[in-house]
Amino acid sequence: MGQWAGYLQLILEGAVVTIKLTLMGSALALVMAFLAGIGRLSRFAPVRWLATAYIEFFRGTSIFVQLFWAYFVLPLFGFTLTPLQAGVLALGLNVGAYAAEVVRGAIKSIGKEQYEACTALNFNRWQGLRHVILPQAFVLMLPTFGNNAIELLKASAVVSLISLSDMTFQAQVVRAQTGSTLFPFLTILILYFAIACVISFAIRGLERHLTRGLDGIRS
Amino acid sequence: MEWDWAFVIQILPTLIEGAKITILATVLGYILAAIVGLAIAIVRRSKNKLISRPMGFVAEFIRGTPLLVQLYFIFYVLPDLGLTLSPLVAGVIGLGLHYGTYTAEVYRAGIDNVARGQWEAAKACNLNAWQTWTQVILPQALPPMIPALANYFIAMFKETPLLSAITVLELMNQARSIANYNYRYIEPITLVGAFFLVISLISVVGLRWLERRYGRID
């Protein structure tokens, strides 16, 4: 049993990398989601086209291909990225494209009377979005954002293939060193599931916090 | 580094070989996912909580963990338990199980959308369980599910490059071995990206058509 403790520590070190990657990727994805989601609703056609091109491109190609492209092809254009940077970039941009559609859908689902109220209060477009529309839309986005974050966590396993020592990579190291397969892979499956449970628990808590006092106002 | 068309022509036949395996894995994986999903959806509807609860947990577990790790599990752990699978078979099983948990949700929503009166009418007509499902419920439940099911087909197609990690010689693996052998990454990886982008853009058009034809679920 003693030897497993050492290997478990190796896997836990990988778990830290996985969690770091998930947090940083989610932060980038959140920024991209709002930029592209609001961009798609812009009055200016070029902004709409740019946002649509971004969303279709990153949703249309596989995360795996994007990651390899960022890691192996970008250096040929003079941008050399560390595996962690390439991982955060690919994961954030990929999941951001999916989340952008969530942002767009939530903003569009806000009723017309809210926009009319903004006009009545003499808000400009930005003020209306900032103070009236987004606070209501954000609550609607949260549950899907939680699912997106779990998708990002799952996709982060792919970075092990560009030699970033995340949880999956460490499990492969343990497999290579011990020849045991059940222990490392079962351990990381359980750890991934535990992290996913924490994410959905946190999102549900945040949702409860943000909707406090709204019962009965919105169905 | 310059884009070299001569090199593109030279590697194209190998990439097409890989693309064939990618498509084969997608189609086989999806057939399995459709069956596994239906089985999960039906078991989760069971009134016996001893059956439906564990099934629900297993489905949640598979959905909450990465496909890549599941593929490793099937490919490396099962042989130790005495079940050796070829890479392609392991890959198809992995894809089928993982996406089966997603299609199960689609089936569940579709079956729940069939009005209660239909179940009661089937009972009133003295149909047995098999007849109720095949002649009343499924014919109404299936068409609205088609767009959502097609959506997962495309999502699964985009995940097939993961099979290269368990040595299936699909498109991504062929591209990587070409890249490593010739030490030229730009053409093979970009071509793979372009392949997926073109297929997805075409399938988006197809999906819009399916949505118009069969209507959205939700």
Task: Give pLDDT tens digits for B194-203.
Answer: 888 888 888 8
- State the pLDDT confidence band at B189, using cuts at 50, 70 and 90: confident
- Residue B8 pLDDT greater than 50, yes or no: yes
CATH of the domain at B19: 1.10.3720.10
> Nearest CA to CA, how far is A174 from chain B (Å)?
13
**Total residues found in chain B within this entry:** 218
Q: Is A22 exposed, middle or buried (0-12, 13-18, 19+ CB in 10 A)?
A: buried
A-to-B residue pairs, Cβ atoms closer than 8 angstroms: 101
> Nearest CA to CA, how far is A183 from chain B (Å)?
9
Number of Cβ within a 10 Å radius of residue B46: 12
CATH of the domain at A124: 1.10.3720.10
- Residue B75 pLDDT greater than 90, yes or no: yes
Return all residues near A48 (Cβ < 8 A) that are at least 6 apart: A39, A40, A41, A42
End-to-end CA distance of chain A: 54
Residues of B in contact with A161 (CB under 8 A): 165
Q: Are A67 and A158 in contact (CB under 8 A)?
A: yes
Return all residues near A168 (Cβ < 8 A) that are at least 6 apart: A14, A18, A157, A160, A188, B66, B68, B69, B72
Query: What is the full DSSP assignment across B67-89?
Result: HHHHHHIIIIIHHHTT----HHH
Number of Cβ within a 10 Å radius of residue A128: 18
In a domain, A193, yes or no: no
Q: Nearest chain B Cα to A76, which residue? A: B1
Return all residues near B4 (Cβ < 8 A) that are at least 6 apart: B184, B187
Helix (H, G, I), strand (E, B) or coil at A122: coil
- Would you call B80 and A181 a contact, using CB atoms and an 8 Å cutoff? yes
Q: Nearest chain A Cα to B175, which residue? A: A65
> Nearest CA to CA, how far is B114 from chain A (Å)?
23
Residues of B in contact with A60 (CB under 8 A): 196-197, 200-201, 204
- Would you call B162 and A189 a contact, using CB atoms and an 8 Å cutoff? no
Q: Is A63 exposed, middle or buried (0-12, 13-18, 19+ CB in 10 A)?
A: buried
* Domain hosting residue B130, numbered range: 5-214
- Would you call B65 and A193 a contact, using CB atoms and an 8 Å cutoff? yes
ipTM value = 0.86
Chain A residue set in contact with B, beta carbons under 8 Å: 56-57, 59-66, 68-69, 72-73, 76, 150, 153-158, 160-161, 168, 171-172, 175, 181-182, 185-186, 188-189, 192-193, 196-197
pLDDT in tens, A39-73: 999 999 999 999 999 999 998 888 988 998 899 88
Distance in angstroms (rounded) separating the CA atoms of residues A166 and A175: 14
pLDDT in tens, B23-66: 999 999 999 999 999 999 989 988 888 999 999 999 999 999 99
pLDDT in tens, A136-148: 899 999 999 999 9
Regions of chain A where pLDDT drops below 70 = 1-2, 214-219
pLDDT in tens, B130-163: 999 889 988 888 888 888 888 899 889 988 999 9
Q: What's the pLDDT score for residue B210? A: 84
DSSP state of A215: B
- Count up the domains in chain A and report the number: 1
Q: What's the pLDDT score for residue B217? A: 45
Residues of B in contact with A189 (CB under 8 A): 61, 65, 69-70, 73
Return all residues near A161 (Cβ < 8 A) that are at least 6 apart: A64, A67, B165
Residues of B in contact with A61 (CB under 8 A): 158, 193, 196-197, 200
Q: What's the pLDDT score for residue A1? A: 55
Facing residue for A69 by CB, picked from B68, B72, B193: B193
> Nearest CA to CA, how far is B28 from chain A (Å)?
19
Distance in angstroms (rounded) separating the CA atoms of residues B178 and A108: 46
Q: Which of A201, A198, A213, A179 is nearest to A22 (CA)?
A: A198
- Would you call A182 and B80 a contact, using CB atoms and an 8 Å cutoff? yes
> What CA dihedral angle connects B192, B198, B202 and B203, to 10 degrees?
30
Facing residue for A192 by CB, picked from B69, B80, B197: B69
* Domain hosting residue A75, numbered range: 19-165
Count helices and strands (H / E) in chain B. Answer: 10, 0
E strand segments, chain A: none
**Total residues found in chain A within this entry:** 219
- Count up the domains in chain B and report the number: 1
Q: What's the pLDDT score for residue B218? A: 45
Residues of B in contact with A186 (CB under 8 A): 73, 77
Q: Is B18 exposed, middle or buried (0-12, 13-18, 19+ CB in 10 A)?
A: buried
